[in-house]
C-alpha cells in the first residue's frame, strides 16, 4: 500500500521549479489540460498543479487539483522514467466530471516522452517502503 502515497517530496512546491518547467520543459496538451514535462533531477516523479481563478471558485479549483493529484498518485508507478510534471487546467475544466478529468489526464500522460535513461526512479514506492528496502 506504500506505493500509493503522495508525500511532499513528490510535489513541486517552489516557484523557481514551476518557472524552470514552463521555460525549458516539453509542452504537451489536450483539450482540458496543458503540461510541461522535464526529466527529473531528483530521480523521482514530481507533480505540480496550477488552476487559475478562471476555472471557478475556490471549491471548484480545489476539486480539480485534488482529482489531478489523485490521478497522479494512483498511476505514476506504471510510467517509465522519472519526470517533473507541471499540469495547468484550462478554463472549462471546472465543469467536467471526475471521469472526464481522469480520461483527459490519461490521454495527456500517454503523450509523455520516453525516458532516455535506463534506470528506474529511486522512489517509485516512495516513503517508508523505499527506506525499508535500504535498511535490509
Confidence band (pLDDT; 50, 70, 90) for 14?
very high
Cα separation, 101 vs 123, in Å, equals: 26
Task: Please tell me the predicted confidence (pLDDT) of residue 62.
Answer: 96
Q: Residue 27 pairs with which residues in a beta bridge?
A: 36
| Res. 35: pLDDT tops 70 | yes
Secondary structure (3-state) at 51: coil
Predicted pLDDT of residue 68: 95
Coarse DSSP helix, strand, coil percentages of the chain, rounded to the nearest 5 percent = 50, 20, 35
Contact 104, 96 (CB under 8 A): yes
DSSP state of 11: B
Structure-block grid coordinates of residue 92? 472549462
Task: Write down the architecture of domain 2-135 according to CATH.
Answer: 2-Layer Sandwich (3.30)
**Do the Cβ atoms of 33 and 71 come closer than 8 Å?**
no
| Average pLDDT, integer, range 65-70 | 94
Instruction: Quote the pTM value.
Output: 0.81
Q: What pLDDT is attached to residue 122?
A: 59
Domain ranges of the chain: 2-135
* CB 105 within 8 Å of CB 70: no
Share of the chain above pLDDT 70, in %: 81
* DSSP code at position 42: T
Amino acid at each position: 500500500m506504500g506505493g500509493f502515497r503522495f508525500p511532499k517530496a513528490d510535489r513541486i512546491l517552489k516557484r523557481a521549479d514551476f518557472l524552470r518547467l514552463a521555460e525549458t520543459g516539453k509542452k504537451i496538451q489536450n483539450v482540458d489540460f496543458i503540461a510541461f514535462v522535464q526529466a527529473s533531477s531528483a530521480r523521482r516523479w514530481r507533480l505540480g498543479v496550477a488552476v487559475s481563478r478562471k476555472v471557478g471558485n475556490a471549491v471548484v479549483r480545489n476539486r480539480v487539483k485534488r482529482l489531478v493529484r489523485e490521478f497522479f498518485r494512483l498511476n505514476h508507478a506504471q510510467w517509465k522514467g522519472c519526470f517533473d510534471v507541471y499540469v495547468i487546467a484550462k478554463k472549462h475544466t471546472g465543469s467536467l466530471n471526475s471521469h472526464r478529468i481522469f480520461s483527459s489526464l490519461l490521454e495527456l500522460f500517454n503523450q509523455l516522452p520516453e525516458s532516455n535513461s535506463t534506470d528506474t526512479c529511486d522512489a517509485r514506492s516512495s516513503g517508508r517502503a523505499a527506506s525499508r528496502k535500504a535498511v535490509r
